[in-house]
Amino acid sequence: MTDRPLILVAQPHMAPLLDALSPRYDAMALWEEKGQARLAEAEALVTAGEFRLDPAMLERMEKLRLIACFTVGYDGVDLDWARARGVAVTHGGDANAEDVADHALGLILAHRRLIVLGDRQVRTGEWTAGAKMLTRSMAGARIGIVGMGSIGIALAKRAEAMRMRIAWWGPREKPELVWRRAEGLEALARDSDVMVIAAKATEENRGMIDASVMDALGPQGLLVNVARGQLVVEDALIAALREGRLGGAALDVFENEPTPAGRWADVPNVVLTPHMGGATYEAVGRMRDMLLANLAAFFAGEALVSPVG
């Protein structure tokens, strides 16, 4: 037995964290039987914030005092439940904001400049002497950013360098920002050639990008999502693309992940990536360091490095 704090790691893809945690803590895998057997003893739970935590499991964790999200997002955590029970919650701060902004810009370029289609033409022999693709310039294009946190601001700065015209919308005014805030989502969509979703996901904004927003963006518009899949009504998005009411979509996140390949097989004008926007070696290293710092601060009784709320 050990008197070190017991920490459970929730998801199998975070197994490498066990080696990082073991020197200082009694770290165990929640997906293994021995971890399940010690639920009632665990003082901290490390989780990927996009995964919903089972309420029944949490109720069995009688000594739980900290939910530490390895990721930046924490939408899988019931914050009201945590507050009511005095359980602290931390997350990865803005560790991957710059990388997600890079990926958003990459998706815009890939779709707007037909990079994926061009690659396919070269590989399949469809490039002929008489064939020439015309694409759309970035300069002068109107970009509307939904959510102006760390990712939105990082993307806006990149869009400026690409000579795009920038507007944004979020539920709260931010007078310190130099870019124009639209009156609402549909107004932003109507005035945009490209709309990028970079907002934090909550139950309140689930499905906020609906058919009316897509129709406002229109048959020449591009919808990009690097936030969370549940912010978009995915069935409405697929219908809008098939019917030509929306010009295109570039998605890194989906309603259900992994998204079934067949769901997108016959959907036109899409560029898809497997939720990899923030998954760089550098960002993962920063998130690991922030997780360790939050845990150290918590068990030392010091101020948390990146608390939620």
Backbone angles phi, psi at 249, to 5 degrees: -145, 145
pLDDT of residue 236: 98
Catalytic residue among 32, 257, 282, 302: 257
> Mean pLDDT over residues 93-101, rounded?
96
| 15 Cβ contact partners less than 8 Å away, ≥ 6 residues apart | 9, 29
- Give the confidence band of 131 by pLDDT, cuts at 50, 70, 90: confident
Give the tens place of pLDDT for each residue, 165-184: 999 999 999 999 999 999 99
Catalytic residue among 113, 142, 158, 275: 275
Dihedral sign (CA 238, 239, 242, 244): negative
pLDDT of residue 74: 94
Domain boundaries of the chain, sorted by first residue? 4-90+279-298, 95-270
User: What's the pLDDT score for residue 139?
Assistant: 98
Q: What are phi and psi of 46, to 5 degrees?
A: -100, 125
The reported pTM is 0.93
Neighbouring C-alpha atoms within 13 Å toward the C-beta of 156: 20
Q: Both tokens of residue 40?
A: 């009632």
pLDDT digits (tens, 9 = 90+) for 32-80: 999 999 999 999 999 999 999 999 999 999 999 999 999 999 999 999 9
Question: What is 4-90+279-298's CATH superfamily?
Answer: NAD(P)-binding Rossmann-like Domain (3.40.50.720)
Q: Which pLDDT score is estimated for 305?
A: 97
Taking residue 26's Cβ as centre, other Cβ atoms within 10 Å add up to 18
pLDDT at 199: 97
3-state SS, 67-134, equals EEECCCCCCCCCHHHHHHCCCEEECCCCCCHHHHHHHHHHHHHHHHCCHHHHHHHHHHCCCCCCCCCC
Taking phi first (over 0 means left), then psi (-120 to 50 degrees means alpha), and beta for anything else, what does residue 280 get? Answer: beta
Write b or e for each residue in 35-52: b if 16 or more Cβ atoms lie within 10 A of its Cβ, otherwise e.
beeebeebbbbbbbbbbe
> Which structure tokens are listed for 127?
């490039």
pLDDT, average across residues 255-260: 96
Catalytic residue among 111, 112, 228, 286: 228
Q: Provide the pLDDT confidence category of residue 3 given band limits of 50, 70 and 90.
A: confident
Active site residue 83: no
Distance CA 222, CA 189 (A): 10
Same-fold call for 4-90+279-298 versus 95-270: yes
The residue-averaged pLDDT of 253-271 equals 97
Contact 103, 276 (CB under 8 A): yes
Query: What is the predicted pLDDT for the residue at 1?
Result: 42
Mean pLDDT of 289-296: 98
Work out the average pLDDT over 19-25. 96
Whether 257 sits among the annotated catalytic residues: the reply is: yes
Averaged pLDDT of the chain: 96
Architecture in CATH of 95-270: 3-Layer(aba) Sandwich (3.40)
Q: Give the tens place of pLDDT for each residue, 187-245.
A: 999 999 999 999 999 889 999 999 999 999 999 999 999 999 999 999 999 999 999 99
What's the pLDDT score for residue 46? 98
Residue 2 pLDDT exceeds 60: no
Q: Is 275 a catalytic residue?
A: yes
CA distance linking residue 152 with residue 157, whole number of Å? 9
